Structure 1
């Protein structure tokens, strides 16, 4: 088991996905100073109930190891953070805050690729890129539909899950995938469902 400093958030971080944050709580500023002086890694878990600020939240048990790429000071004592998701983990035990959350974790085995999954990867990529193109007319801050992805098929599968225009709970569902097939099938299905909901979210103006 590994001991990780933990950063519970209102979003799920997937392997290969970037994480951009402004850190301002004193306990997390202390965590960043400790982390950057060590292996530059911390854990990210999605908050199940509660809010990011102040503690007292309930958290999902499956998360992702984040590695800091950049950390810079900002006005008002804040820190700007750019990190990237890596290995997945399962929380074995939460430890008392000191002063920030910490947990003993067990790494989750990496997904394994088979050439038989190539067609599903192609189909899922088509679904995700089409959804990004359509939803960009209704939502801001989405990934461009022509964003470049990794040539490695497992990394590409995770990146497709990460850029899919889905909510935090859907991304958490994808994070729990046990196989590449499950990841790709769930990504395509959830993305299609999100696309099908667009007419209800943005009905035509009756006028």
Structure 2
């Protein structure tokens, strides 16, 4: 069954989040504060998309059309006076049409992509789970309280995309894979190149 999202808010960022991942954000622009209020009031989420060109706050932001639909799981006033929220990825989406609302908020029509297969992590890729375990011990990452099924090829791949120091284009390419095992092969190649 196809799930369509009409007039869903789009949030272009210079980072990615995938299903099951968590991302802390600071909101200060009126358009995003209004978006947050609407999302909380209507109990709906928004779509996080990786920036292709421009900057996060700019009206000229150009973004990829495959991203992640997220829900707000926490919010609080930060010490710097800004509003902090934490979002969690629910599922990947394809944005078919987008435009800017009068307040500058990007909005669009999106479609939920099919869920990826739930393949087991191959024995030959156990080093990827070890790298992920090491990354999850970092204090900043640890605060996100991520729950990871280390036996799942897609979950290990998703978390590595979020946490490894890869460039934006590579992260986007990996996000767009629908085959978790092919994604792990690519991640393994990238890790080898980093060493």
Choose from 19, 33, 38 the match for 1:34: 38
Which residue of the partner structure matches residue 186 of structure 1? 186
Checking the alignment, whether the CA contact within 8 Å between 2:53 and 2:62 is kept in structure 1 is yes
Is 1:47 aligned to residue 51 of structure 2?
yes
Deviation digits for residues 96-138 of structure 1 (CA, Å, limit 9, x no counterpart): 32431111011111110235x52254243245557x59xx9xx
Is 1:103 aligned to residue 102 of structure 2?
no
Checking the alignment, whether the CA contact within 8 Å between 1:15 and 1:87 is kept in structure 2 is yes
Checking the alignment, whether the CA contact within 8 Å between 1:121 and 1:157 is kept in structure 2 is no
Q: CA RMSD in A?
A: 2.8
Which residue of the partner structure matches residue 5 of structure 2? 2
CA spacing shift, 1:39–1:182, aligned 2, 3 Å? farther
Checking the alignment, whether the CA contact within 8 Å between 1:73 and 1:79 is kept in structure 2 is yes
The number of residue pairs the alignment matches comes to: 186
CA spacing shift, 1:142–1:171, aligned 2, 3 Å? farther
Query: TM-score, with normalisation over the residues of structure 1?
Result: 0.77
Task: Note the residue ranges of structure 2 that are not aligned, 5 or more in a row.
Answer: none
- Alignment partners' CA distance in 2, 1:20 and 1:164: 17
- Alignment partners' CA distance in 2, 1:155 and 1:17: 9
Which residue of the partner structure matches residue 171 of structure 1? 171
Q: Secondary structure at the match of 1:37?
A: helix
CA spacing shift, 1:179–1:71, aligned 2, 3 Å? same
Checking the alignment, whether the CA contact within 8 Å between 1:128 and 1:188 is kept in structure 2 is no
